[in-house]
């Protein structure tokens, strides 16, 4: 049924968005951004470029936006000028129309990746080293609570997909998202998506509502696609009360920012809890922060894997295990660098040893070539 719906949608989309069909059909283009009828941009290999495509006029673009919204069961109007939805083919679309959109109808389409990536693919792309992949794999299997941090377009969702797909198939995994994007492949996965208010202002279901329901559905692990509100407190409490191996993403530029942002979001969940208590819970819950960044040359890389060891007053105590070190620029304006171990061993080394897994601990002391 889903494949049939996607096929019908592709035909309709081709008609609604005929002026940018070439951009949508190009597999190398990951996102299309429409800033009014005559300004259309696209992203390819991490770089944003301007297209020669254009719509006939604002009315034609607005009509396309309304048709797409209606097709996915949403309404867009002056009273409800914003639509955020998942298309049947898995792509994500966000629409903002006037009067809120001053440039004219604005649309962003993040295209669905038809090929599922794995750890080997990320290694091949240079996003991480094989040693980092091996470490992340064992951390996932041994149920470390992992927070994936990064900015927009840094590859957080892709990494979460890869890590989530390494969860053993006998574990029940519940996925909670605002807009369903994750495509985690595992034997026992249950997916939930939020619901916006209807035109009467009723029927809203938030991530926090889904989190409360998820905790009653016997999860082994909980994955929150993006932690951006008061649900952070529920996720932290779940991590601390028997749901080890849970994961989530957060918008931040480094490990410390990620932990501080998570702490702030937890405070939104319960203003009556003292900051020190929140910090204790966050420090105990999150065991690893994986930092993803889109670098200045457009490439996406894991720039750091850091363990959280607790906190000392106002500061989180961390131990960086792997990092990306830039060494220069190429003649083609590409960043030159390598991933390297810091020489530190993870705090759960004994857990790895007792698990019986054949793990090469020498990777933590390997010098970069």
Domains of the chain, by residue range, sit at 2-110, 119-365
Does the fold of domain 119-365 match that of domain 2-110?
no
Alpha carbon distance, N-terminus to C-terminus of the chain: 51
Torsion angle of the four alpha carbons 316, 266, 86, 47, in this order, in degrees rounded to the nearest 10: -30
Tokens coding 159: 């990494």
Query: What CATH code would you report for 2-110?
Result: 3.30.450.90
Residue among 54, 106, 98, 59 nearest 79 (CA): 98
Asked if the peptide bond before residue 106 counts as cis, ω within 30 degrees of 0, the response is no
- Topology adopted by domain 119-365: Rossmann fold (3.40.50)
Residue among 186, 173, 310, 196 nearest 248 (CA): 173
Q: 120: part of which helix (H) or strand (E)?
A: helix 119-124
C-alpha to C-alpha distances, 311 to 139, 241, 265, 291, 317, nearest whole angstrom: 21, 19, 18, 19, 5
One pLDDT digit (tens) per residue for the chain, 369 residues: 555 555 555 666 667 788 998 998 898 898 999 999 999 999 988 789 999 999 999 999 999 999 888 887 788 888 889 988 888 777 888 999 999 999 999 999 988 766 678 889 999 999 999 999 999 999 999 999 999 999 988 889 899 999 999 999 899 999 998 877 888 888 899 999 888 777 677 888 999 899 989 999 999 999 998 998 888 998 999 999 889 999 999 999 999 999 999 999 998 876 677 888 899 999 999 999 999 999 988 899 999 999 999 998 888 999 999 999 999 998 888 899 999 999 999 999 999 999 988 899 999 987 655
């Amino acid at each position: 049924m889903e494949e049939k719906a996607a096929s019908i949608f592709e035909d309709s989309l081709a008609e609604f968005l005929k002026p940018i069909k070439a951009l949508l059909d190009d597999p190398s283009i990951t996102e299309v951004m429409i800033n009014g009828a005559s300004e259309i941009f696209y992203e390819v290999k991490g770089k944003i470029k301007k297209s020669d495509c254009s719509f006939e006029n604002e009315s034609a673009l607005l009509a396309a936006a309304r048709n797409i919204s209606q097709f996915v069961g949403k309404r867009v109007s002056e009273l409800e000028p914003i639509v955020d939805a998942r298309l049947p083919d898995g792509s994500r679309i966000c629409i903002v129309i006037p009067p809120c959109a001053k440039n004219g109808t604005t649309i962003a389409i993040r295209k669905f990746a038809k090929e599922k990536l794995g750890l080997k693919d990320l290694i091949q792309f240079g996003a991480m080293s094989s040693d980092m992949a091996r470490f992340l794999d064992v951390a996932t299997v041994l149920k470390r609570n992992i927070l994936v941090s990064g900015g927009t377009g840094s590859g957080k969702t892709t990494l979460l997909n890869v890590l989530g797909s390494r969860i053993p198939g006998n574990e029940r995994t519940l996925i909670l998202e605002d807009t369903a994007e994750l495509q985690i492949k595992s034997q026992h996965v249950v997916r939930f998506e939020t619901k916006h208010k209807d035109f009467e202002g009723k029927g809203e279901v938030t991530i926090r509502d889904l989190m409360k329901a998820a905790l009653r559905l016997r999860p082994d692990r909980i994955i929150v696609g993006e932690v951006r509100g008061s649900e952070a407190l529920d996720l932290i409490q779940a991590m601390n009360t028997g749901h080890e191996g849970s994961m989530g993403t957060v918008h931040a530029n480094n490990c410390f920012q990620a932990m501080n942002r998570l702490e702030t979001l937890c405070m939104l969940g319960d203003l009556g809890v003292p900051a020190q208590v929140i910090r204790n819970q966050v420090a105990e819950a999150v065991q690893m922060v994986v930092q993803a960044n889109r670098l200045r040359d457009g490439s996406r890389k894991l720039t750091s894997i850091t363990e959280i060891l607790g906190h000392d007053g106002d500061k989180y105590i961390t131990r960086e295990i792997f990092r990306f070190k830039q060494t220069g620029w190429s003649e083609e304006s590409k960043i030159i660098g390598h991933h390297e171990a810091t020489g530190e061993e993870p705090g759960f080394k004994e857990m790895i040893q007792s698990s019986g897994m054949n793990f090469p601990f020498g990777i933590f002391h390997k010098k970069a070539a």
